[in-house]
Amino acid sequence: MILTLWDSFVDRECKLFSENIDKKPVIFATNLKVTSFLGLKLSTKFRSTFMNSLFVAVQKWVEWKDTSLDKVDEFILKKPYTKKSATKLSPPMHNKFILIQILQDRLLPRKFYWVNATAKMEKIYQKCWYMTCSSCYQRSSVDFGEIYVCIFCKSSNSKAITRARAYVQLSDVTRCINASAISEAAEKFMFTDAQILMEETNFGSQADFVDIIGKMQNIERTFYLKATQAKPNSSNYKF
């Protein structure tokens, strides 16, 4: 499960946890906020408290953890917190979809939007995958399959894996916008997966997308878009 720490918890607890993350610290906390969007997540609130590891209840979990490291590693590898992705969400009622023209013309009140559109890839040559850490998905420069120490999540058991990425144009009857997709969403776009993309390009940096573009053309699909302001208070958005 993902835990997000805010405000003063960033300087104290977050620092402590990240410095000790390879020891798999036991975290005991009260008054956390629980949200269920795209899987269960925890985050701190103003009144959250983290309990000292000297408490008996915490000690018991520390003992369990020390004798069950295999099990803990198994949980981490399974990444249960990533199971529910946007691509597995059910689309909403028809009237909840939005036209691309509206997405472009307004300061958007929300982050996520449903759109019916066709996808096109205008840039025929683009790098469609990159290497990431298997634990935190931060970019990595080591070779595929190599085990290494990740400088982002500090895991000493990170494996370099491929992640798909695509830059596309989405259009509906009103207009066209640029959008980028990574991971599972990009794989669905291109009807393939990251490892195949990497192997097909012979580990090189660019792929010839003629086949992929042919497959994508003229199919109307449902997209779940995240809108991010290009700059603070700007009316330009990235999707």
Binding site for Zn ion (CB under 5 A): 133, 135-136, 150, 152-153, 158
Least distance (Å) between residue 187 CB and Zn ion? 21
- Residue 152 to residues 82, 165, 229: CA-CA distances in angstroms? 18, 20, 25
Nearer to Zn ion by Cβ, of 16 and 153: the residue is 153
CB contact at 8 A, 168 and 189: yes
Q: Is 158 or 162 the residue whose CB approaches Zn ion more closely? A: 158
Q: How far apart are the first and last CA of the chain?
A: 26
DSSP 172-238: -SS-EEEEEEEHHHHHHHHTS-HHHHHHHTTT-S-EE-HHHHHHHTT-EEEEEEEPEESSTT-S-EE
Give min distance, CB of 99 to Zn ion, in A. Answer: 39
Task: Report in angstroms how near the CB of residue 3 gets to Zn ion at its nearest.
Answer: 16
Nearer to Zn ion, 14 or 108 (CB): 14
3-state secondary structure of 19: helix
Provide φ and ψ at 140, rounded to 5°: -140, 155
Nearer to Zn ion, 135 or 162 (CB): 135
What's the min distance (Å) between Cβ of 18 and Zn ion? 11
HSE value, Cβ hemisphere, 13 Å, CA-based, for 129 = 27
Q: What are phi and psi of 22, to 5 degrees?
A: -70, -15
Q: Which is nearer to Zn ion, 114 or 152 (CB)?
A: 152
